[in-house]
């Protein structure tokens, strides 16, 4: 029986026993008992007043217990006496019974029952011993917990074998880097024959959500070896020396199961640089790190143990941790490219039902900068929206809405603009769109909307036309021109400026300053005048190192102003030239509020929006129901509908609750 169920039944059982005891006591107290002597009993028997008697022998006390009723007794009244345990007493009772013909009942001697004897004589001692044993073991378990304080918190993942490289998409080069670890764990003699030494440690470096933990689990699954996982924060405790003790115990456990993998997530929590004293000292962290360094490559040998660690801040790690012999290899797990995103989408789309007009390649093109976790969340949000709308399959409409929700938050459709404010927002976003259409180096316009989302009153979704690792001066300049389009359109058409362009100016200023101080794209020449300077212990890039004089700072400001002013003038020139297109897009936005890339292209070519698409044939769809969603997706949907207690519900309970709303 479940512990929670037992705990819930215990109070009710206690109450029931108390009630039974009270009823028994009331029943006992309601009966009236008259105590007679043996002589009085014989006297009443000779007079013929006895109606019935019950005789119970007590061999231990050597007496008969006699109870019964007299003729003048009430219903709940009886008598009771004790007589010597002898044949003479029984012969007198039998003689009286022949003379007066009253009923005689005899009960067995309770002391003759083995079970009753055990219950009365042995059971109390057993109960006392059991209670004492319970309290002793409880004290010992609490003592053991205190003794286990320094034990390793690393947990053996039994499900690691279920994850293989088939579940890891978009990381082709990264999988090739760790393939050697799998080959070594399967056949170490192949490497030892040529004198090769497998890396003792592999550090996975990359932004959050790119699949570092998934890749480590897949390595363990492919190699079919034990997989221990632990977080860097599990080593650090208040008491000095506990973390080092846990490191020793972790490697001790791993040696017994070698060959095996140890995965340390967020290793920067324990592996930060030592000795600077900035941000406060922490002897416990330093001792833990020292022990980890010793275990990885010290006097002891850890054959067959491979450590995989993950972090998104390799710059804060101690140099001794990154040297050869400890973490020999660093694997960069970067954000996926278009092909990688398409593969990741295909993995997460396996258990979902899509309409025929959904193209994963197009979705991958529109999700530049998305990590694997972001893409999984995108499809999950689209599935939730499809169920909420009672659709039979996920369409591009739900995917578009999910994309906007992931980036900007849900649409605030209840927020209403005034007519003048709506017109200003429409021209602002149309200004960005026109420049994006007419400039080759500017970002490509994917979607325009004037429906507020998050903190934005409206936005123009612009993505790079091609994914590139470098950018030319012309491309950067045209990006700034595109960012100026909103303010220029307001000033040109409305004759007034608003606060809506503050984020545009922030991005434009960053690009212009980087062009001058970092990229050498100004008259100051090919010099890097500024560089990011991060704090190791704070983990933030708060400052920039400036290696220039006040005169150079003035020249930097002049160059930035020159770039911004030239871009502003160019944006004004283009929008004046394309005033008809600006008015066309703005008026369409005022009417429709949202237009997509396909509609924008049609609008530029034909001067109007396309007619409504034909209704999609329902035969193209398969039924999409609550049964098709996972437990996590059902919980997300329950949160949207504000269902109370959904976190504790099973999948079947959630489906029943959601059927009331859907």
Known catalytic residues?
429
Q: Which two tokens stand for residue 518?
A: 């970092």
369: left (phi over 0), alpha (psi -120 to 50) or beta: left
- Number of residues in the chain: 662
Q: How far apart are CA 609 and CA 602, in angstroms?
A: 6
For residue 587, give the H/E element and its range: helix 579-592
What is the three-class DSSP state of 276?
Answer: coil
Q: Cβ(408)–Cβ(456) under 8 Å?
A: yes
Q: Cβ(383)–Cβ(636) under 8 Å?
A: no
DSSP letters of 635-658?
Answer: HHHHHHTT-TTGGG--HHHHHHHH
Going by C-alpha positions, the residue among 593, 563, 557 that lies closest to residue 484 is: 563
Question: Which residue carries 């911004």 as its tokens?
Answer: 564
Q: How far apart are CA 565 and CA 563, in angstroms?
A: 6
Going by C-alpha positions, the residue among 308, 171, 284 that lies closest to residue 228 is: 308
Q: Cβ(658)–Cβ(639) under 8 Å?
A: no
**Residue 586, φ and ψ in degrees, nearest 5:** -65, -45
Q: Which residues pair with 83 in a beta bridge?
A: 64
Q: Which two tokens stand for residue 3?
A: 């512990």
Q: Which residues contact 169 (CB under 8 A, 6 or more apart)?
A: 340, 343, 344, 346, 347, 372
Q: Kindly give the interhelix angle for 283-297 and 242-256, rounded to the nearest 10 degrees.
A: 20
HSE-CB for 308 with a 13 A CA cutoff: 23
What is the three-class DSSP state of 47?
Answer: helix
SS (H, E, C) 477-537: HHHHHHHHHHHHHHHHHHCCCCHHHHHHHHHHHHHHHHHHHCCCCCCCCCCCCEEEECCCC
Q: Cβ(491)–Cβ(497) under 8 Å?
A: yes
Q: Which residues pair with 462 in a beta bridge?
A: 445
């Amino acid at each position: 029986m479940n512990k929670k169920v037992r705990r819930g039944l215990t109070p009710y059982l206690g109450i029931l026993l108390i009630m039974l005891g009270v009823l028994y006591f009331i029943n006992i107290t309601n009966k009236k008992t008259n105590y007679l002597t043996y002589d009085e009993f014989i006297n009443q028997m000779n007079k013929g007043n006895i109606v019935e008697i019950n005789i119970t022998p007590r061999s231990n006390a050597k007496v008969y217990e006699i109870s019964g009723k007299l003729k003048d007794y009430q219903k709940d009244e009886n008598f009771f006496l004790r007589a010597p345990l002898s044949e003479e007493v029984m012969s007198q009772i039998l003689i009286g019974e022949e003379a007066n013909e009253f009923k005689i009942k005899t009960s067995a001697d309770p002391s003759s029952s083995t079970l009753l004897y055990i219950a009365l004589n042995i059971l109390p001692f057993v109960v006392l011993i059991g209670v004492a044993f319970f309290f002793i073991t409880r004290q010992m378990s609490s003592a053991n917990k205190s003794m286990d304080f320094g034990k390793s918190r690393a947990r053996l993942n039994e499900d690691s074998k279920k994850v293989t490289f088939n579940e890891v998409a978009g990381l082709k080069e990264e999988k090739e880097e760790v393939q050697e670890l799998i080959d070594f764990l399967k056949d170490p003699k192949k490497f030892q024959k040529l004198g090769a030494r497998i890396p003792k440690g592999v550090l996975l470096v990359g932004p959050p959500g790119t699949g570092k933990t998934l890749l480590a689990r897949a390595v363990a699954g492919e190699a079919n070896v034990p997989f221990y996982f632990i977080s860097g924060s599990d080593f650090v405790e208040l008491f000095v020396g506990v973390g080092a003790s846990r490191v020793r115990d972790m490697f001790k456990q791993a040696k017994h199961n070698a060959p095996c993998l140890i995965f340390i997530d967020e290793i920067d929590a324990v592996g930060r640089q030592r000795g600077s004293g900035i941000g406060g000292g922490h002897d416990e962290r330093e001792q833990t790190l020292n022990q980890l360094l010793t275990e990885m490559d010290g006097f002891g040998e850890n054959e067959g143990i491979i450590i995989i660690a993950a972090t998104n801040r390799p710059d804060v790690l101690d140099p001794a941790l990154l040297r050869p012999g400890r973490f020999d290899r660093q694997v960069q797990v970067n954000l996926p490219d278009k092909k990688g995103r398409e593969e990741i989408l295909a993995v997460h789309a396996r258990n979902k039902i899509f309409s025929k007009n959904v193209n994963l390649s197009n979705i991958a093109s529109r999700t530049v900068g998305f990590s694997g976790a972001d893409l999984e969340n995108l499809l999950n949000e689209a599935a939730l929206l499809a169920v909420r709308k009672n659709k039979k399959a996920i369409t591009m409409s739900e995917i578009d809405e999910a994309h906007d929700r992931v980036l900007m938050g849900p649409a605030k459709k209840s927020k209403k603009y005034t007519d003048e404010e709506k017109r200003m927002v429409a021209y602002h976003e149309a200004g960005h769109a026109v420049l994006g259409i007419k400039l080759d180096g500017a970002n490509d316009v994917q979607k325009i909307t004037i429906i507020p989302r998050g903190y934005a009153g409206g936005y123009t979704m612009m993505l790079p036309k091609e994914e590139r690792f470098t950018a030319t001066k012309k491309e950067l300049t045209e990006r700034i021109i595109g960012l100026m389009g909103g303010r220029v359109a307001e000033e040109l058409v409305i004759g007034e400026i608003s606060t809506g362009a503050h984020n545009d100016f922030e991005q434009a200023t960053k690009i212009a300053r980087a062009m001058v101080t970092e990229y050498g794209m100004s008259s100051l020449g090919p010099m890097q005048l500024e560089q990011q300077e991060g704090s190791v212990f704070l983990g933030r890039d708060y400052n920039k190192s400036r290696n220039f004089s006040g005169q150079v700072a003035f020249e930097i400001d002049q160059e930035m102003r020159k770039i911004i002013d030239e871009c502003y003038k160019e944006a004004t020139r283009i929008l004046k030239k394309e005033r008809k297109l600006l008015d066309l897009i703005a008026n369409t936005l005022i009417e429709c509020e949202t237009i997509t890339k396909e509609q924008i292209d049609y609008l530029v070519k034909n001067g109007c929006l396309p007619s409504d698409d034909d209704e999609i044939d329902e035969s193209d769809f398969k039924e999409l129901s609550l049964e098709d969603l996972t437990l996590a997706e059902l919980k997300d949907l329950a949160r949207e509908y504000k269902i109370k207690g959904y976190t504790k519900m099973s999948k079947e309970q959630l489906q029943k609750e959601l059927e009331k709303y859907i």
